[in-house]
Amino acid sequence: MSHELPKTYDPSVIEERWAEYWVREHLFDVATPDGTADDAKKFTMLLPPPNVTGRLHMGHMLNQTEMDILTRWHRMRGETSVWIPGTDHAGIATQMMVERQLASEGKNRRELGREPFIERVWQWKELYGGAILDQMRRLGASVDWSREYFTMDDRLSVAVKECFVRLWEQGLIYRGAYIVNWDPAIQTAVSDLEVEHEERAGKIYHIRYPLADGTGSIVVATTRPETMLGDVAVAVNPEDERYKALIGKLVRLPLSGVNGGPDREIPILADDWAKPEFGTGAVKVTPAHDPNDFAIGQRHGLPNLSILNDTAHVDLPGSHYDGLDRYAARERMIEDLRELDLLVDIKDHTLSIGLSQRTGVVIEPRLSQQWFIKIQPLADKAIEAVEQGHIRFTPDQYRKTYEEWMKNIHDWCISRQLWWGHRIPAWHCIKCAEINVARETPTACAKCGSTELTQETDVLDTWFSSGLLPFTVFGWPGTEGSNGLTPDLTAFYPTELLVTGFDILFFWVARMVMLGCHFMLDVPMPDGSKRELKDAVPFREVYIHALVRDADRQKMSKTKGNVIDPIEVVTKYGTDAVRFTLASMASPGTDIAFSESRTEGYRAFANKIWNAARFLFMQADRAKEAGYTFSMQASGTVPDLPANTPLETRWIFGRLSAVSAEVDRALTDYRFDEAAAAVYQFFWGEFCDWYLELIKLRLEFGEGHEKNDVTALTLASLVASFEAALRLLSPFMPFLTEELWHALYENNAPAKSIALTRYPQPTDFAADEASVAAMTTLQELITTIRALRKELGVPEKEAAPINLHGDNRIVALVDANRDMLSRMARVSSVEFAEATLSGSNARATASFDVAVIYERQIDVVAERERLSKELAKLEKGLMAAEKQLANETFMSKAPAHIVEGLRKQSAETKMLYDKAKAALDALPPA
RNA sequence: GGGCGGAUAGCUCAGCUGGUUAGAGCGCCUGCCUUACAAGCAGGAUGUCGGGGGUUCGAAUCCCUCUCUGCCCA
């Protein structure tokens, strides 16, 4: 069979075919181990579930590339590797999406009603929710699609409810009226984490509050004058001399009268919160609309007066500000205060405001009834798990970030006033107000027996359900009456690794640790023993990756318009090239500035691999025509290497061994960049540049070239080393390697996919260090000759003789490999010299001198300059070395091997220096 | 305000548990369309390792400080 590969690699024709094949053939689906005679190591990982509304961005692609490389690598090392995909129902984001859709039809969700609205969201999800997973398939992510989940699936919903009920029963969930971050756009509470702080230019207003007894006034400073309608006090610092006399007096709160009535009277009180240096030193206290003021109110037993409704409009019947938006109210009130001559001053002030992460509107701190998790007991375990090393962070610095956050954690507001999400399983008794939390809808109040129950309307924070995923995806809590230990949980919990970005370190990672430790401690070990913290953790390792930025290091954002769509780049350069780009730039702790020039380079790399395959197939065809019989089916077998095995063949297997070790080490340390560099350098710089060029010497067919063992061995070795290289590359470039691997086996491969074969291991190949060392010397010699030839102006095609001086080892090596010199450096003949060589046509290295015999005069000026420069560099090195060696403290304190190394280096430098000096002196005068 | 990170070749980044003459890719310069590959081959140039100070026999690497810069938390 002849192989007709196009001259240039075109990823578009093969990638979609393989992506579809991998899914269709269920290659990466993993059945639950039955527990019998299964001692294979396991590698389990959860895909951070993208929002069901999401579109793939570069961050996803980086994340998935890293996870896929690791999963493929572990899988090829024979481990049971499960990578579980799914999507998150993303409460706010999804509800917004559908509300927007409704708005475009002139409707809103309230008209529609709760149940029909939720129905509508499900329809939306069915239609569009799969988009991001389809994009994942296109990237070749080797996930187990049979285990795909959605966070609102029935089985997960049951688990979420179970967790909520248990936490309630354990007294770890409470409900109460607290100041929370309120998003007036979508009208729900959000957690602290969902608020983004931004510095903005604003104003600070100084407002005069008259004393009720008419003896004067006090001027308060505020950035939010509109909330003064909700003021219940004025606070001053107890140490502030200016105001000491006023403490305990009442002020008349301007603008606060309703229905034409008088203004309210509120007290002046002393509280440390009032900072004398801030503003006027007197602050208004508005407990219902500011978290700090709420705390003051608690301390002093003040009432909470809410004056803004859930859309942040003034809600104060009878007031002439009633119904105004918060900012409109502010303007109107400032005008009114000015008219009343109570506005003392307006100053510029930079303030930090909270913005809703989802909607972008300014958060309104608002007093409302919410559900909270008492987080401290959970956080304690989560801190312990990390401090005791049961969970390891890479890079390690994130451990500190995590611990810092955990130690300063606040109770978690888990209720959301949304419709889309897991509805809180609580029923309020209309008669006695008892809260009935239950797994099944109760028929009567547990306290008073009333049947008048209404279900809580709030749903749970999306992160509550995703925080449970590490065990709920494995079927927890299992069947009724079970201990929660399902077969999947037995086999796969804890997962091995979590790969994610630091942006969800607190949102998700921290919550998983807390909830995982909390719930799993109650699940026994497979052998029935009690589970300890080290086995209750949701994952043993966390790898935090960088942010992908644009080529100018700017954060990608829609508003800047610099978002790079991975699917676009993938279409342009091929998935493999983009994956390789991300992998090679993924060095820990540094953001990735994604630039297409890098990707272009890796597309060239893919093309290089493609063409190496073309070369191989071409040689195979020629060999067959020449009567060689060998089977491509033996590609996976490294041939025995007899005594007459050519050096380059011993060398390439030696290198394969070393590179396999290097890749293993790099991936163990999550050094994707080093792993990628190692395979790149090996394949291009060694396999193609040296090995393929050298074996052309052995692959001569036709007239005058009899069939021989060396050629046969070379063919077998070529195929075997290439096949191994493909396996080595396949986690990084799964599409290209899959295509070529099947082609290599002539579509009769020993496995359904290269991904199901063995990853090259150092011991799979003879390390043969002597051959590697010999080859390194020859490479140095060849490179030196090439450089000399170029300098002397020897035409590329013209062969030239050389003189060589070196020790016996070099002489023997060169003598045995004259054919290499001839092919790689156009050497016509070699003459060995007894004495050192110098002169303008010679170069000296530490191990040999070589001269190229060529007539043409060299450029004396250029050569003088080159030699002078080199001489200066050598002299500098030599001086430094000699100075060190003359330094007694160095000689006495430095370790022996350092001193010895320096001595050797110094001697070599001296030799090179002398040679360069001689060469310079030998140059004719300018 | 508290904390973390970064500053190394024109660009993007490695190297940093101190140790021999600081690397890679891209870009740049020169010569080659050598039947695997011009998305290629061969050769070449390029850095007072942000400034200053200190520790040490020895500092890109450790410490202090300054400047610039990014991020997280409040």
> If you average pLDDT over residues A722-744, what whole number do you get?
94
Q: What is the DSSP letter of A444?
A: S
Question: In the numeric block, which tokens belong to residue A735?
Answer: 């599409």
CA distance A429 to A446: 9
Query: Could you tell me the distance in Å between the CA of residue A783 and the C1' of nucleotide B42?
Result: 9
Give A753-804 as a DSSP string: -GGGSPPP-GGGS---HHHHHHHHHHHHHHHHHHHHHHHHT--TT--EEEEE
Q: Which nucleotide is nearest to A674 (CA to C1')?
A: B14
Among all protein residues, pick the one whose CA is nearest to the C1' atom of B25. A598
The predicted pLDDT at position A425 comes to 93
- Torsion on CA atoms A907, A912, A915, A917, rounded to nearest 10: -100
Query: Could you tell me the distance in Å between the CA of residue A553 and the C1' of nucleotide B67?
Result: 21
Q: Which nucleotide is nearest to A891 (CA to C1')?
A: B57
Of residues A912 and A227, more confidence is placed in A227
The predicted pLDDT at position A424 comes to 92
Give A456-482 as a DSSP string: ---EE-HHHHHTTHHHHTTTTT-STTS
The predicted pLDDT at position A878 comes to 74
Do strands A217-222 and A195-210 pair parallel, antiparallel, or not at all (unpaired)? Answer: antiparallel
> If you average pLDDT over residues A249-268, what whole number do you get?
83
Query: Could you tell me the distance in Å between the CA of residue A886 and the C1' of nucleotide B52?
Result: 30
Which of A30-34, A754-758, A897-901 ranks highest by mean pLDDT? A754-758
Q: Which nucleotide is nearest to A688 (CA to C1')?
A: B36
What are the pLDDT digits (tens) for A548-573?
Answer: 776 666 667 666 666 778 888 888 89
Query: Could you tell me the distance in Å between the CA of residue A380 and the C1' of nucleotide B28?
Result: 57
What are the pLDDT digits (tens) for A319-354?
Answer: 888 888 888 888 888 888 888 888 888 887 777 788
Residue A826, SS3 per DSSP? coil
Q: Which nucleotide is nearest to A585 (CA to C1')?
A: B13
The answer to whether the CB of A639 falls within 8 A of the CB of A765 is no
Query: What does the longest C-alpha to C-alpha distance in chain A come to?
Result: 121
Residue A274 has pLDDT above 60, yes or no: yes
Query: Could you tell me the distance in Å between the CA of residue A162 and the C1' of nucleotide B26?
Result: 55
Q: How far is CA A330 from CA A198, A227, A258, in A?
A: 21, 8, 17
Query: Could you tell me the distance in Å between the CA of residue A599 and the C1' of nucleotide B26?
Result: 10
The predicted pLDDT at position A72 comes to 95
The predicted pLDDT at position A1 comes to 38
Q: How far is CA A382 from CA A174, A403, A467, A665, in A?
A: 21, 9, 13, 30
> If you average pLDDT over residues A225-250, what whole number do you get?
83
Query: Could you tell me the distance in Å between the CA of residue A401 and the C1' of nucleotide B2?
Result: 13
The predicted pLDDT at position A354 comes to 84
Nearest CA-CA partner of A733 in A566, A568, A587, A583: A583
Confidence at A159, pLDDT banded by 50, 70, 90? very high
Among all protein residues, pick the one whose CA is nearest to the C1' atom of B13. A585
| Residue listed under structure tokens 């090195």 | A877
Number of H helices, E strands in chain A: 30, 29
What are the pLDDT digits (tens) for A500-542?
Answer: 888 888 889 999 999 999 999 998 888 888 999 999 999 999 9
What are the pLDDT digits (tens) for A621-635?
Answer: 988 888 888 788 888
What are the pLDDT digits (tens) for A811-857?
Answer: 999 999 999 999 999 999 999 988 888 777 888 777 888 888 887 65
Among all protein residues, pick the one whose CA is nearest to the C1' atom of B6. A590
Q: Which nucleotide is nearest to A603 (CA to C1')?
A: B39
In DSSP terms, which residues pair with A497 in a beta bridge?
A45, A541
Among all protein residues, pick the one whose CA is nearest to the C1' atom of B12. A593
Backbone phi, psi, residue A179, to 5°: -75, 125
Among all protein residues, pick the one whose CA is nearest to the C1' atom of B45. A866
Query: Could you tell me the distance in Å between the CA of residue A725 and the C1' of nucleotide B20?
Result: 34
Q: Which nucleotide is nearest to A405 (CA to C1')?
A: B73
> If you average pLDDT over residues A254-262, what whole number do you get?
81
Residue A30, SS3 per DSSP? coil
The predicted pLDDT at position A704 comes to 75
Q: Which nucleotide is nearest to A873 (CA to C1')?
A: B21
Element (H, E) at A867: helix A860-886
Nearest CA-CA partner of A160 in A236, A255, A89: A89
Confidence at A165, pLDDT banded by 50, 70, 90? very high
CA distance A192 to A511: 14
Nearest CA-CA partner of A310 in A263, A370, A394, A270: A370
Query: Could you tell me the distance in Å between the CA of residue A807 and the C1' of nucleotide B9?
Result: 37
Element (H, E) at A300: helix A291-300
Query: Could you tell me the distance in Å between the CA of residue A54 and the C1' of nucleotide B68?
Result: 37
Of residues A808 and A906, more confidence is placed in A808
Residue type, A829: S
The answer to whether the CB of A136 falls within 8 A of the CB of A48 is no
Non-local CB neighbours of A894 within 8 Å, separated by 6+ positions: none
What are the pLDDT digits (tens) for A457-492?
Answer: 899 998 999 999 999 999 888 887 788 888 889 889
Is cis: bond before A395, omega within 30 of 0?
A: yes
Nearest CA-CA partner of A756 in A23, A75, A17, A18: A75
Handedness of CA A382, A385, A386, A392 (dihedral sign): negative
Q: Which nucleotide is nearest to A905 (CA to C1')?
A: B20
Give A561-588 as a DSSP string: T-PPPHHHHHHHH-HHHHHHHHHHH--T
Question: In the numeric block, which tokens belong to residue A35?
Answer: 């527990």
Q: Which nucleotide is nearest to A10 (CA to C1')?
A: B39
Residue A892 has pLDDT above 60, yes or no: yes
Residue A308 has pLDDT above 70, yes or no: yes
Q: Which nucleotide is nearest to A793 (CA to C1')?
A: B31
For strand B, the positions having any atom within 7 A of a protein Cβ are 3-6, 11-15, 19-21, 24-27, 31-32, 34, 36-46, 56-58, 70-74
Query: Could you tell me the distance in Å between the CA of residue A396 and the C1' of nucleotide B62?
Result: 19
CA distance A686 to A684: 6
Non-local CB neighbours of A892 within 8 Å, separated by 6+ positions: none
CA distance A177 to A372: 10
The predicted pLDDT at position A557 comes to 66
| Residue listed under structure tokens 């196009």 | A6
CA distance A780 to A783: 5
Query: Could you tell me the distance in Å between the CA of residue A550 and the C1' of nucleotide B70?
Result: 14
Average pLDDT, chain A: 86
Query: Could you tell me the distance in Å between the CA of residue A348 and the C1' of nucleotide B67?
Result: 29
The answer to whether the CB of A338 falls within 8 A of the CB of A349 is no
